[in-house]
Each structure stands twice: as structure tokens, then as C-alpha cells.
């Protein structure tokens, strides 16, 4: 376990493993470096992997008030710790953070994102607005459990899964992460990819989805991730699309790692 201090003084904790070019793993909502450890272990055969807890989660500190720019600075601090050059991989809303950081000028090498959950289906704008308003209201009232349950429903979890989670031993830990859901919502912006910002990304970018996500994701319908990926790839000058057959949003690290290795090494 190592740490780096971001521009605003926030201490970020990370694990470093492997040898080779640096790769920084950027987790999505509720993800800590513990969750990303299996992928880090796979990539460590070819890269020096920096697997960090984003601010406000795991063992990293937090500094309020939050802005997305602070997370850009966090990534920049990790790149500096890696010697000034690194590839970035982001999953889900962590992928949106990677894209926004690159558009803002954070100096990374290649970018790879997996299933960024932009909602381009009919009614997506309204769904995103209602979610953000309700989430912020619940967090302001200190109702962390209700905020996390809201997130689960927004992500497509059936009600029985929400109730099962509430009654599980891990619920207290999930409630502790609830304030960071607002951070991921901020990274997602209005819930749609910005063509103007995507056009600013100069790095080669891999935009991947799972081939089985259409059948497994109940929240948005079969084309949810595919529509988002097509829009992202269309907006980035040097982007390539890939579908990883047989995979869902919970992608298998042993299947994903060779795809990332090939792209980062090419």
C-alpha cells in the first residue's frame, strides 16, 4: 500500500504491482481498490498497475466541497507518481471520469473504457435529472441507506435484490460509500456524452462493451450500452470499438485483461 497527495491535499491510497508501462485503474460507483484487485493481478504480468481508492472511498481521504476537477487532479497526481506517463482504464462511471479527465487535458497515454452508462434511450434526460435530484436530497437528509437503494434501482436492480442487500452484512459498508454516489453522478454530467468534450480527446481510445450485457441489464434495455459506446467512439477522433463476447457489466478480469493488454501494447 502506497499513497500520493493530490493538489488539494487529499491523500489517495493505492496498490502498485507488476513491471512495465504504467496502467491506472479507475473504478466506477461503489468500487474500491479491493474490487479491482483481480484485474490488477492479471495486468501486472505486463504492466506496472496503479490500483487506487478514489477519494471518499476505501482508505483514501476526502476533501469537501467536491468537484469533478478534483478527481482530474487525483488522476494527474497518480500519473506523476507513475513517472509522468500512464495508460488509463475506467469501468462504468469510472470510464466517464477517464474521458472527462482526458478532455480536460490530463496527460495520459492511451485510454480504455468499459460500458460507460450514458443513457441515450428515450426518456434518458428525465431519468438522469430525477435520479440526481432525488439522490442529492436523500444525501442532504443523511438518508444514506435510501440513497444507496435509489442507486441500485437506477442501475436496474429488481426490488427483491435491493431488499436482500439491505438485509445483508455488507449493507453498512455500502451505506458508508453512499456520499460518493454523488461524485459519480457528477462525473456522468447530464447522463449523455458531450460531443464537444469528446472531440478534445487526442489519445487512442478503446471503447468496449460486453456481448452479453444486453440480456443481463434490466435497467435500460438491450441497446443501452451499445448506444452509449457508439456515441463515445463516434465522438473521439482516435477511437476503436470492441465487443467482448460472453461478458456482462460484471466483466471477468481474466477475459478483459488480454483485451486491454493487446490495446495498450499495440
pLDDT 10s digits, 96-126: 999 999 999 999 999 999 999 999 988 999 9
With a pLDDT cut of 70, the percent of the chain lying above it is: 97
What is the dihedral angle through the alpha carbons of 88, 91, 92, 98, rounded to the nearest 10 degrees? Answer: -10
**Which pairs count as long-range contacts for 119-124, CB under 8 Å and 24+ apart, including other chains?**
119/191, 119/192, 119/220, 119/224, 119/228, 120/192, 120/227, 120/228, 120/231, 121/220, 121/221, 121/223, 121/224, 121/227, 124/191, 124/192
Using CA atoms, how far apart are residues 41 and 33, in angstroms rounded to an integer? 12
Q: Give the residue-averaged pLDDT of 79-92.
A: 97
> Residue 178 has what DSSP assignment?
G
Q: Give the residue-averaged pLDDT of 63-85.
A: 97
Mean of the per-residue pLDDT values for the chain?
94
Query: Which residue carries 469528446 as its cell?
Result: 198
pLDDT at position 252 over 70: yes
Cell numbers representing residue 1 in the block: 500500500
Cell numbers representing residue 66 in the block: 467536491
pLDDT at position 58 over 90: yes
What pLDDT is recorded for position 218?
47
Domains of the chain: 2-119+192-265 (3.40.50.1820), 124-184 (no CATH)
Q: What is the pLDDT of residues 143-197, one digit of tens each?
A: 999 999 999 999 888 899 999 999 999 999 999 999 999 999 999 999 999 999 9
Handedness of CA 178, 143, 218, 120 (dihedral sign): negative
Query: pTM value?
Result: 0.94
Amino acid at each position: 500500500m502506497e499513497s500520493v497527495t493530490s493538489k488539494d491535499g487529499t491523500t489517495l491510497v493505492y496498490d502498485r504491482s507488476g513491471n512495465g508501462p504504467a496502467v491506472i485503474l479507475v473504478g466506477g460507483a461503489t468500487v474500491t481498490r479491493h474490487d479491482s484487485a483481480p484485474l490488477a493481478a492479471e495486468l501486472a504480468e505486463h504492466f506496472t498497475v496503479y490500483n487506487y481508492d478514489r477519494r471518499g472511498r476505501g482508505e483514501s481521504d476526502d476533501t469537501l466541497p467536491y468537484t469533478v476537477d478534483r478527481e482530474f487532479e487525483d488522476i494527474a497526481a497518480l500519473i506523476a507518481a507513475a513517472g509522468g506517463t500512464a495508460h488509463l482504464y475506467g469501468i462504468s462511471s469510472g470510464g466517464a471520469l477517464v474521458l472527462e479527465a482526458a478532455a480536460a487535458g490530463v496527460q495520459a497515454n492511451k485510454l480504455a473504457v468499459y460500458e460507460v452508462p450514458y443513457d441515450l434511450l428515450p426518456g434518458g434526460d428525465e431519468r438522469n435529472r430525477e435520479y440526481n435530484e432525488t439522490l442529492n436530497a436523500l444525501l442532504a437528509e443523511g438518508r444514506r441507506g435510501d440513497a444507496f437503494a435509489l442507486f441500485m434501482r437506477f442501475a436496474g436492480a429488481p426490488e427483491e435484490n435491493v431488499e436482500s442487500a439491505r438485509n445483508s452484512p455488507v449493507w453498512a459498508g455500502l451505506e458508508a460509500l453512499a456520499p460518493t454516489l454523488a461524485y459519480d453522478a457528477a462525473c456522468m454530467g447530464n447522463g449523455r456524452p458531450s460531443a464537444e468534450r469528446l472531440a478534445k480527446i487526442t489519445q487512442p481510445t478503446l471503447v468496449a462493451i460486453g456481448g452479453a450485457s444486453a440480456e443481463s441489464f434490466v435497467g435500460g434495455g438491450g441497446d443501452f450500452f451499445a448506444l452509449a459506446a457508439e456515441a463515445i467512439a463516434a465522438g473521439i477522433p482516435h477511437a476503436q470499438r470492441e465487443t467482448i463476447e460472453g461478458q456482462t457489466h460484471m466483466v471477468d478480469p481474466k477475459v478483459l485483461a488480454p483485451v486491454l493488454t493487446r490495446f495498450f501494447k499495440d
